[in-house]
A = this chain, B = another copy of it.
Amino acid sequence: MARFVDVRNMVRWAAGRGAEDIMSGMIAYLEEDFRRWESFDKTPRVASHTAFGVIELMPTSTDETYGFKYVNGHPSNPARGYQTVTAFGVLADVHNGYPTFLAEMTVLTALRTAATSAMVAKRLARTDSRTLALIGCGTQAEFQALAFRAALGIESVRVWDTDPAAMEKLASNLGPLGFDVVATSSAAECVADADVITTCTADKAYATILTADLVRPGVHINAIGGDCPGKTELDSAILALGDVFVEYTPQTRIEGEIQQMPADYPVTEFWEVLTGRAPGRVSEEQITIFDSVGFAVEDFAALRFVRDAVDGTDLYEEIDLVAAPEDPKDLFGLIRAAAPARV
Is A276 close to B, CB under 8 A? no
Q: Which residues of A in the span 95-127 have a Cβ within 8 Å of any Cβ on B?
A: 95-99, 104, 106-107, 110
Assuming the A-B contacts A7-B323, A321-B88, are A139 and B332 also in contact, with contact meaning beta carbons closer than 8 angstroms in the complex? yes
The answer to whether A94 and B50 have CB atoms under 8 Å apart is yes
The answer to whether A66 and B82 have CB atoms under 8 Å apart is no
Please tell me which one of the listed residues B80, B92, B328, B339 contacts residue A81 in the complex, with CB atoms under 8 A apart: B328
The answer to whether A329 and B52 have CB atoms under 8 Å apart is no
Is A36 close to B, CB under 8 A? no
> Quick one: CB contact mask for A288-303 with B, threshold 8 Å, 1 for yes?
0000000000000000
* 25 residue pairs bridging A and B, Cβ less than 8 Å apart: A4-B319, A6-B319, A7-B324, A10-B323, A11-B323, A15-B339, A18-B342, A18-B343, A41-B48, A48-B61, A50-B63, A53-B96, A57-B57, A82-B96, A83-B322, A86-B98, A107-B335, A138-B329, A142-B332, A166-B329, A169-B327, A169-B329, A169-B333, A173-B336, A176-B342
Identify the stretch in A70-78, A224-232, A246-254 within 8 Å (CB) of chain B at 4 or more residues: A70-78
Report the minimal beta-carbon distance from A153 to chain B, rounded to whole angstroms.
18
Assuming the A-B contacts A84-B328, A97-B72, are A335 and B57 also in contact, with contact meaning beta carbons closer than 8 angstroms in the complex? no
Please tell me which one of the listed residues B11, B86, B97 contacts residue A77 in the complex, with CB atoms under 8 A apart: B97
What residues of chain B lie closer than 8 Å to A322, measured between beta carbons? 7, 83, 86, 88, 104, 106
The answer to whether A59 and B52 have CB atoms under 8 Å apart is no
Report the minimal beta-carbon distance from A42 to chain B, rounded to whole angstroms.
10
- Tell me whether chain A's interface is mostly helix, strand or loop, or mixed: mixed
Report the minimal beta-carbon distance from A252 to chain B, rounded to whole angstroms.
19
For A166, the closest partner residue in chain B by CB is B329
The answer to whether B70 and A96 have CB atoms under 8 Å apart is no
Report the minimal beta-carbon distance from A196 to chain B, rounded to whole angstroms.
19
What residues of chain B lie closer than 8 Å to A12, measured between beta carbons? 338
The answer to whether A106 and B323 have CB atoms under 8 Å apart is yes
